[in-house]
Amino acid sequence: MTVPARLHRPARRLALLASSLLLLGALSGCEKTPAPSFKSLDITGAEYARQLALTDASGQPFQLSSLKGKVAVVFFGYTQCPDVCPTTLTNLAETQRLLGPDGDKLVGVFVTVDPKRDTAALLKAYVGAFNPNWVGLRGTPEETAAAAKEFKIFYREVPGKTESSYTVDHTAASFVFDPQGQVRLYVRHATPPADLAADIKVLLSAR
């Protein structure tokens, strides 16, 4: 005896309901973790600022990969800069202080855009005045230009009264790399140290 089709409807409805519930469960399990919220500009995944290979103030080859496990803040400037550079490094030192016990996980990396005047000894003394554990980097004019291009940094000599008294106009932003060595943040000049410290804490907590 054939069972009428209408008698199968409740079973079909239950099956459809069960399938819907399973689908909803699967979708909820695939929800992405919310992206972290930063006060600086999030440039995660940027196709620039991926590498930096120059010479440190001790004359040794340096690569960003050597700082994995720490947060690195990279800034391009020069030692005779009258305002932007000392202000940036002073704020970075304050950021490090605000991090408390995590301060030793932050490394400042200062790249000179004036290798003609910034000798290794001068660079070491200048960066060391802010923190002796930070890194000062220099290269040949060609290497400096290549590094600046990789980071989309602008710089240009501005003639002074004498041949050696020129100043250098340059981009005043910093770049923050996470403990995995990936560029994550673009930090505008004069960002409050408390804001930068908050961003760095987010990166450290995500390890």
As annotated, the binding site for Cu cation includes: 81, 85, 170
Between β-strands 71-77 and 61-63, what pairing exists: parallel, antiparallel or unpaired?
unpaired
Single out the residue of 110, 126, 92, 124 nearest to residue 199, CA to CA.
Answer: 92
Residue whose structure tokens are 């006060």: 39
Q: How far apart are CA 63 and CA 53, in angstroms?
A: 5
**Residue 83 carries which side chain, given as an amino acid letter?**
D
Phi, psi of 196 (to 5 degrees): -65, -40
The backbone region for 27, taken as left when phi is positive above 0, alpha when psi lies in -120 to 50, beta otherwise, is alpha
**Residue 84 near residue 77 (C-beta atoms within 8 A):** yes
Structure tokens at 112: 């000179």
Feature table: binding site = 81, 85, 170
**Residue 54 carries which side chain, given as an amino acid letter?**
L
